A and B are shown apart, each in its own frame.
Chain A
Amino acid sequence: MTGPVLILGARSDIARAIARAFAAEGHPIQLAARHAENLGTDRDDLQTRYGVEVSLHDFDALEVRQHEAFVDGLPVLPEIVVSAIGVLGDQTENEDDVEAALGVIRANFEGPALILGVLANRFATRGSGTIVGISSVAGDRGRASNYVYGSAKAGFTAFLSGLRNRLARQGVHVVTVQPGFVNTAMTAGMDTPGALTAEPSEVGEAIVNAVKKGRNVIYVRRIWWLVMSIICAIPEAIFKKTSI
C-alpha cells in the first residue's frame, strides 16, 4: 500500500526524517505546517531523492476551528497521517507565565489531538487508514523538570489510546510513538546520553515499520521501554524526592 502520507508539523527534524522514510517507500507526501510556502526546498528534496509527488499545505494546529476546513482542502484524503506537532517550551517559564504554559499545553495536546480526531472520523467513514501520533516518554510520568510538557503529552497519549480502542473495529489503526531523546533542534545544547539518543532517521524508519506491522505503541529505542518501566515503578513517596 503506497497511499499518500500527511505529515503534520512538517518543519521539524523528526518530521523531515519521517517524510523521507515514507517517500523512500514510494508514498506521495503531503507536508503541512505554518507558512508551508517555505517548505519548498523540502519538497524539492523529497521529489529529487525519491521521485514521489509532494504537496505543501498551510496548517496551524492551534487554529482548531479551522481543522475541518483544512482537511476538506487536501487534494485527497491521506492513507496515513503522522502528527509531529509539538514544542518543548521552558519549564521554569511555564511555571510563572500562564501564556507560555498555555502555548505548550495547546501545542502538545489540544492541537494534535483535535486534528487527529477530525481525520479519525474521516478515516472511520472510509473504513481504512493509519494514524500515527508522536507523543513522548515525558508523558509516562510527570517530573519536576518538564511536567507542563509532560502532562500535555500524557493527555495526547491517552487520547491516542482511546482513539485506537474506538477505531480498532473500524479498519483504522492508531500508532503511538515514544521517541525518547532524539538528536534534533529540540534537544540541541542538551547533554543527552548516547545510548538513549536516536537519530531522526531512526525515528522515521521505526515509524514506517510500525505502520507496516500494525504495532500499537513503540519506543524508538527499546531501552526506553525499560527505562520508563523502572521510572513508573518507583513508589510516589520516593519518586517525589528524586530529581530524574
Chain B
Amino acid sequence: MKLTGWGNVPVLDCNVSAPRSEAELKAVIARGHAIARGNGRSYGDSAASRSNTIDMRNFDRMISFDEETGVLVAEAGVLLADVISACLPRGWFPLVTPGTKLITLGGAIAADVHGKNHHIDGSFRACVDWIDLMGPGGEVTRCSAGENPELFDWTLGGMGLTGVILRCAIRLRRVESGWIRQQMIPARDLDAAIEIFEDNLGATYSVAWIDCTATGDRLGRSLVMVGEHARATEVAPQHRHRPLHVPARPRRTFPFPLPGFALNPLTVRAFNALYYWNGKRQTGISTVDWDSYFYPLDSIAKWNRLYGRRGFLQFQCVLPLERGAPGLHALMEAIAGSGQASFLSVLKRFGPQDSPISFPMEGYTLALDFPNTRKTRDLMPRLDAITLAHGGRFYLAKDARMPAPTLARADPRAAAFAAWRRETGLAPAFSSSQSERLKL
C-alpha cells in the first residue's frame, strides 16, 4: 500500500503487515529489511520500508501504572494521547512531549523526541527506564542504562534500526493541574529572542515561534513563550474544584488538500505578520489548558492538508551554543533572501545532551516547514550547507530528502552507528527507506 510520512512526501509503495502477537511479529521480522511504524507522524520516510513495513498499532496495551512512582509500563503502540487520558486524572503528565500527542511510545523512543523542556529535562530518553526490543531472530532483549546499555543507547534516537520496540517503562511527572501558566514575550529580532531564552533557562518550558518572513532589522522577530505547570491554587476559579480536568476541545478536520497556490510566499508572509502582531497584543501571563499549550495543531485533524497534495518538507537542525547566533542569522538571511517562506517556524534552546545517536545537543534548534516545490527543494541544500558550516546537525524524524554525504559530514556518529549495525547483524535485518538513503 501507499505510505507517506506526515509531510506527505515521498509517497512509497510498501508491503505492510500488522501483526497481532509476538509470534506473528517474529515471523514478519524474519523476512528482513523490516521497519516498525507507529502512528505515521515522522515527516519523511523513516517509518517506511518498501519490502517490510510493520504497523505496530495493534500492540497498544497499557500493562501497569504505579500511582506512587508515576512509572507506566506499556506496549510500544500506545499513543501519548492515551497516556495523558489515563494518567493526567491521577496527577501525572509525560515528562517529555513533542508538539503532537498523536505519536506512539515506540516512535517517541526511536526518534528520541524532545519537547519545550529539553533545556531542563533532556530528551524522551530521560523518562525511559527500560525497553523490550525484538531482534532479528525474534529474541526479546530488555535494555536500560544498566542492562545491555549499548543496545539501549543506540535504540534511543536509532530510528527503529536496532530492532522492534515491544514494550517500555516510562516515568511521568507529577502535576497538580492540567493547566499551564504561560508567559508570552515578544522579541523584536533574533538577538532579542536569544537573549530571552538565555534569561529564562530556569523556566520549565520555553519555545519561540519565529517569523521567517521578516527581513532587515526585524529579521528573526519572535514570540517567546515560557511556561510552568500551574499549581492547583493557580487554576482559574471555575476549574479549581477539578484542577486536573480540562474541558475537551472541539476537534475539526481539515476538509480537503488545499490547492497548491493557496500557500505562497505572499499569504505566508501575511499570516506570519498577523500572528506576530496578534501575539504581541497578548504579551504577559495567561493560563492555558495542556492540550492547547502543548498540542495546538492536534485540534485540527489532517492539518497537513494545508500544504496540498504535493506535501511539505520539514527542515530541523541544531547549532552548537557558541555558534548559534551567527548560524541562525545566516539561516534566516538565506530563507528571507530566497523569497521562500516557512509557514510555521519554531526556535528552541536545547540543554546539554550526550547520547550516541540522538539529535539534540546544547545550542539552538530551528524547525521550518516549506511547501514541497522546486524552489524550496533548491533551498534545502543551502540550509544544509549553512548548518554544516556552523557545526550543526539534523533531526532524522523530520528528514525526507537529505543525501547521505550531508549526514556523514554533519554527524560522525552516523558512521559508527552503521558500523555497529553491520557488526551486530542488525543492518540487513532492519532498514527503512531513510536508512537506505542515508546509508545507516
Binding site for B on A (CB under 8 A): 13, 41-42, 44-45, 48-50, 185, 188
Contact = CB atoms under 8 A, between A and B. Distances in A.
Nearest to A38: B21
Contacts of A45: 60-63
Interface in B51-74: 58, 60-65, 72, 74
B234 interface: no
A48 B86 contact: yes
A49 B20 contact: no
B298 interface: no
Contacts of B18: 188
B20 A41 contact: no
A44 B64 CA distance: 7
B63 A41 contact: yes
A49 B86 CA distance: 5
A163 to B, nearest CB: 32
A45 B77 CA distance: 12
A44 B61 contact: yes
- Chain A contact residues, majority secondary structure: helix
Interface string B15-27: 0001010000000
A228 B42 CA distance: 39
B253 interface: no
9 nearest A-B pairs in the assembled complex, by CB-CB distance: A45-B61, A48-B62, A49-B86, A41-B61, A48-B65, A44-B63, A45-B62, A49-B62, A48-B64
Nearest to B61: A45
Contacts of B411: none
B2 to A, nearest CB: 12
11 contacts: A13-B58, A41-B61, A41-B63, A41-B75, A42-B61, A44-B64, A45-B60, A48-B63, A48-B86, A50-B86, A188-B18
Contact of B20 (A44, A48, A185): A185
Contacts of B153: none
B271 to A, nearest CB: 31
Contacts of A185: 20
Contacts of A41: 61, 63, 75
Given A45-B63, A48-B64, A49-B62, 9 more contacts: A41-B63, A42-B61, A44-B61, A44-B64, A45-B61, A48-B72, A49-B82, A185-B20, A188-B18
A37 to B, nearest CB: 15
